Amino acid sequence: MNDDLLEQFITEGRELLAEAVEDLLALERAPDDKERINRLFRSIHTVKGSSGLFDLPPITRLLHAGEDMFQAVRERGLKLTPDMVDASLAAVDLVTRWIDELERTEILPADAGALATGLAARLRTYFDNPATAAPAGIARAGVAPSGVAPSGAAPAGVAAASANAPVPSETPQLDRWFSAATLAQLARSGEKFHLIVYQPSESCFFKGEDPLHLALQTPNLAALAWAWRNPCAPLSELDPYQCNLDFFLLSSATPEALAANFRYAAQDVTFLPLPPGSFSAAAPVALPDITRDLLQFCTDMLAHDAPPAEQPGRFAAARRVAANALRAAGLTEAAVQLAEADSPDTCRQSIAVLLATGAAARPAIGSAAESAATGIDTPAEPAAEALHEAPNVRKVLRVDKEKFDVLMNLIGELVVAKNSLPFLAKRADEQYGARALAREIKDEYGVIDRIAQELQGAVMAVSMMPVGQVFGRFPRLVRDLARKLGKQVDLVITGEDTEADKNVIETLFDPLLHMVRNSLDHGIEPPDERVACGKRPSATLTLAARQDGDQAVIEIIDDGRGIDPAMIKRKAYERGLIDETRLATISDQDAAMLIFAAGFSTAETISDVSGRGVGMDVVRAAVEKAGGAITLSSVKHQGTTLRLSLPLSMAVTRVMTVLVEGRLFGIPMDLVLETVKLPAHSITRIKNAKAFLLRDQIIPLRHLNRLLHLPDPQQTPAEIAVLVVRTGGQLLGLGISAFGEVMEVILKPMDGVLARIAGYSGTCLLGDGKVLLVLDLKELIA
Amino acid sequence: MIERDGKTILLLGHCPVEDADTLLSFVHDGADVIDWTGCTLLHTACLQVLLAARLPVAGPPQNPALAQFLAPYFVPYTATEI
């Protein structure tokens, strides 16, 4: 089996199936969304079609059933029920799993056949008698399940416009490349052909490739055509070593044999299975402009209101003009069909189909190629200019993470170097008395500062990605969970464009998942209970993201039963998480936060959704690890809001500098609660520990110089500066000499020999060239 | 191998990728006809030059695949024109 081909199938299959899930969920809410159902149908159809290239009958069979079902929904007004959505999601999941399996082992699991048959049968129970009702296009695909028509190319609207109209051509315009005589001969052979579009890369000669040789080696080659990819240069400018040829081949060999022949050029080759009858059906799509205009005129004529007496005359005239126009264009078959139209409406419909398929004709090969999932990205149109470059492709640059880190570091150094200018200005003024020079330095500093900040912002933006990437996975999860729990939930997502650091976003999914699960399981009531409380039966769960200063804030809001502080307190006490004194004194707000304590579970019974007592503490740990914080507010019977705030970027850390015995240290700002100055006499001793009273709260006090093994001050100051910090959920006062300023730094972890020293989380450079050690308080205090 | 005989360019035996340059220069210098009756293998680069040159081609080539699939794309050379 061809690896590249399979790889493409796997990648594209995954994407299309993910889209299908999205569409299914949207359709469940808005079953009349024509665009969605069309897209859904196309996704499934395309994956099914591509699966035919490989020996994967279970996938083809299962998706075929799904396709038939959506066809029935699309064209026969079958109503999409939640059960049908369930079954479809199950089918899509199964195929997704098989694709994963294919990627690992290249074969399907042994039970795939049986599973596919079972699920396909279940899907088929939702629509009656597909064999007779399915329109011609599908019936035809059904005849050849392994080599499937690339009808993803045909505009879905056309097929929907009239099921009785002539089947729109689903084949590429073979007559563009091959002579009528050749095609007629092939049609007579009655064999099944593949069209092979081979577009060798421009530089292929330098890789020792000989596309012509390879093309001529094609097994069962029946016809060969070529086209200039870009207009042929005049002889004087011709570069013979740039390959400018595309080849179009027809062969009756099996897909496997073809794939084997082109195994070294798989990325340049597209295989399109041609359904039987393609050769004769290929003609009607090539509409010359004049014919198109005439046909348009005829439909306009039929569309206008006319006195009843004139109508038959108009109809006859329009029909004759249209038929003649078609005949003149060499489209005899279509002309005959049109001439037989027995009412103005059928006539108009036939013309509409012709116009639409005519429009589809030009890009037919391109989109058909996409649906076959095997390589080229632009329509292959001979003599068209520079079509090889797809103009609308969004260009993405993939950069090695290490290179990006170097860039980050350099920006960091630039920021630091820039910060030395104010020091210089100060020195110019104070040391050399050159005030004018100092002012000029400051002006220059302003300019450099602005540029450096913009540069920093730009580089940060590179590593940012929208929160929507994580949110996108929730509609499906919420739907499935809600159905499983028998609850009705409307998921509202806002602010998905909010951007945050990629690393932060990636750590976000699991915590969010836990919280959403908890909301659904514990927060949101079953519909009858909601109605009894006077609420709408369907609950609203909101995932909202927004930027708040240098933090990304994500809220999970439900309008469920809320958290009952009394119940939380009781449970926490029962589980030994709090003692009796704390039970009596704890505030409602703090009690609600107890759900984040390890080993806490409020659910009366353990469901398979949540309630095992692991989760919320893990959530808190994960969020804190990403440098974020989590808060909770809840009103009984009205709902719960969980608020996650995360740093926008992990690259910049805000630290507060503190002076301890003449040395400067940094303390991460997110730990600092407040700064106070205490008179020495307000410090009380409890045995050999010190503590102080702050707003009726006893806070233990440690001296940072002791923790750092620095000498004690020579004389005890009358007033000491205390930094109140929160570490490990406890408040602590840190005695220092003096407060410094708050600054943004780029923290570099300690490495090499220094990495083993405990108590420091990293270093950064200050504007005056000094190194600032940033403390890791948790380690220091432990 | 590519050779020239007056106004005729001869494709002989195997014409590898390197021959494309020679072929192009011969065509550029002026030629009336390309004779590929002796051609057994033709590299895509040479084919490109042939297709761009639009000269009459005398055949059929020795390689039956070339004769079947590519000959139809060239203006056949008729001996009476000599």
Of the pLDDT bands very low, low, confident and very high (cuts 50, 70, 90), residue A373 is very low
ipTM of the complex: 0.93
Q: Is the pLDDT of residue A384 over 60?
A: no
List of chain B residues whose C-beta atoms are within 8 Å of the C-beta of residue A226: 51, 73
List of residues 6+ apart from A532 with CB closer than 8 A: none
**In this structure, are residues A67 and A138 in contact, taking their beta carbons and an 8 Å threshold?**
yes
Looking at residue A151, its pLDDT comes to 38
How many Cβ atoms are within 10 Å of A434's Cβ, its own excluded? 15
% pLDDT > 70, chain A: 81
Cα torsion A505, A506, A512, A517 to 10°: value is: 150
Picking from A358-362, A559-563, A582-586, B45-49, which range would have the lowest pLDDT averaged per residue?
Answer: A358-362
pLDDT in tens, A159-198: 333 333 333 334 456 777 787 777 777 777 777 888 888 8
Whether residue B44 and residue A245 make contact (CB cut-off 8 A), yes or no, is yes
Q: What is the pLDDT of residues A628-684, one digit of tens each?
A: 788 888 888 888 898 888 877 655 677 888 888 888 899 988 888 888 888 888 888
Mutating which of A205, A210, A224, A237 best tests the B interface, going by the most B Cβ atoms within 10 A?
A: A210
Banded model confidence at residue A390, pLDDT cuts 50, 70, 90: very low
Query: Are residues B20 and A241, on separate chains, in Cβ contact within 8 Å?
Result: yes
* Range list of H helices, A106-172: 112-124, 130-133, 136-143, 156-161
Chain mean pLDDT for chain A: 76
Q: Is B25 on the interface with A (CB under 8 A)?
A: no
Q: How far apart are the C-alpha atoms of B46 and B43, rounded to whole Å? A: 5
Question: What's the CATH architecture for A652-781?
Answer: Beta Barrel (2.40)
* pLDDT digits 0-9 by tens, A578-590: 888 878 888 877 7
Q: Would you state the pLDDT for residue A635?
A: 85
Q: Are strands A730-736 and A697-703 parallel, antiparallel or unpaired?
A: parallel
Q: How confident is the model at residue A2 (pLDDT cuts 50, 70, 90)?
A: low
Per CATH, is A174-281 categorized as 3.30.70? Answer: yes
Give the distance from residue B76's alpha carbon to the nearest chain A alpha carbon, in angstroms: 17
Q: Which CATH number fits domain A466-647: 3.40.50.1860, 3.40.109.10, 3.30.1360.10, 3.30.565.10?
A: 3.30.565.10
Query: Is-contact A355 A157, C-beta < 8 A?
Result: no
User: pLDDT confidence of A396, banded at 50, 70, 90?
Assistant: low
pLDDT band for position A557 (cuts 50, 70, 90): very high
State whether residue B41 sits within 8 Å of chain A by CB. yes
Q: What's the whole-model pTM score?
A: 0.43
pLDDT(B51) > 50: yes
Range A3-148 classified under CATH 3.40.50.970: no
Contacts of A18 (CB under 8 A, 6+ apart): none
Q: How far apart are CA A675 and CA A524, in angstroms?
A: 41
* A contact set with B (CB within 8 A): 200, 205, 210-213, 216, 221, 223-224, 226, 228, 232-233, 235-236, 238, 240-241, 243-245
Where are the domains positioned within chain B?
A: 2-65
**Distance between first and last Cα of chain B:** 24
Q: What is the DSSP string of A525-590?
A: PPHHHHHHTTS-SSEEEEEEEEEETTEEEEEEEE-SS---HHHHHHHHHHTTSS-HHHHHH--HHH
- Which chain B residue lies closest to A223 (C-alpha atoms)? B69
pLDDT of residue B79: 58
**Residue A150 pLDDT more than 60?**
no
Nearest CA distance, B44 vs chain A (angstrom): 5
Say how far apart CA A88 and CA A106 lie, in whole Å. Answer: 24
**Of A30-44, A282-296, A511-525, A674-688, minimum mean pLDDT range:** A282-296
